[in-house]
Structure 1
Amino acid sequence: MHTEFAEYYGSEYQPNYGKRAEMKKQPRLVKPILAMMAAFSLALGVGACGSGSTPTQTGGSTTASENGTSRAKMYDSVKAITDDSDLVVVGTVADQKVVQDIDDETDFTLSTVKVITTKKGDAGDETVVVRQTGSTKNQTAGAMMETGSTYLLFLVHSGLSGDLASQYYVTGADAGIYLAPDTAKAKAQTGTATEQDISGETFNRVNSDSGDNLPATLTVNEVPAS
């Protein structure tokens, strides 16, 4: 039959037959190409996920890093921020200094806090050093603590090495800072504040715009026992 068509149509038949053959072969070439494109797209997607800016965290909790405390989650209860904290204390900032002990550009404010009472953890020698990223002149974080003020603090271990290992960051950047009223501040400055005095005080959240769903005021007795 092919021979008859060839005789009838002459040279016009062979080119058409060849085109039909090419069309039949085309799907065999398309499938490998599509597979290669899919593999390439998948590789790009994995690379994008691996190079994202997601902070390094542990179990969705707040953890410390050399550049300050990263936020892995927002807190929706006092229990949640207490559970993520290594230390919860009430204390007065007795001394402050600004250092650049991680790199030559980043300011860190170190506050030496004299502990009045401990709600969770062990404050050791009754003073703790709290690190905050930034300073009053170069503030890159949230609210900075002030010398002479008394705070209810939720803290996490710094995670740093050497002499810096004993220091703390505030849990959730500045979410874990509650400021005492002036009455408690005055007693703390004179050294007459007691655990009983502090337990009845209402502390005020220093940053109500942090995105956390935490109470605006808090007493020591409202902090869950560890």
Structure 2
Amino acid sequence: MRIKQCEWSQNGHQNMADYHQNEWGFAVFDEEKTFELMILEIMRAGLSWQTILNKRLGFQKAFSNYRIQKIAQYNDYDMEKLLKNPAIVRNKRKVEAIVSNAQLLAQKNATSEFSLNTYLWSFVDDKPLVMDYQTQEDMQGFSELSKKISRELKKQGFKFLGPTIVQSWLEALGIINSHVETCPIKQQCIDFFAKNYTL
């Protein structure tokens, strides 16, 4: 039987294949990487992941290398620059949500040792939720977990993080392992977590 990787990664674009092979589903424990993937998932809403990967370098440059404290200080001039920047997705609601979320995180960090990454992992007791999808059609657009986290984030003031966006974000962070059963990367993600996770 021929081993089949996740179908969505086989669209003929190298950056999509590379993302699947080296990032998607591998556990993330870094705060700025968590925020980067939040930005990308917010920007992806209504668009293809291929579009986002094509603009990934543009996002990194436009959003100050994803430094949360820096983004939290953006003023009206910075916002206007973003909305005129052809290297990113120029959607006002998305840009405003990203800056607002950075400001909220900066406030939390100023008053406590809050970690968005740690908070998200706490919903699965710090252990990846490994799905048993057989085909891409089995994959969920959202789940009870993503709905719960979306509600809790909204209560805290985070914006543009509905259940579908959160589901994709959790998968990108490796909190949910959604590789299909025949994909060899699935086990690599499991092994990566076992090797790198520390309390």
TM normalised by structure 1 equals: 0.22
More RCO (CA 8 Å, sep 6+):
2
Greater fraction of residues in helix:
2
TM normalised by structure 2 equals: 0.24
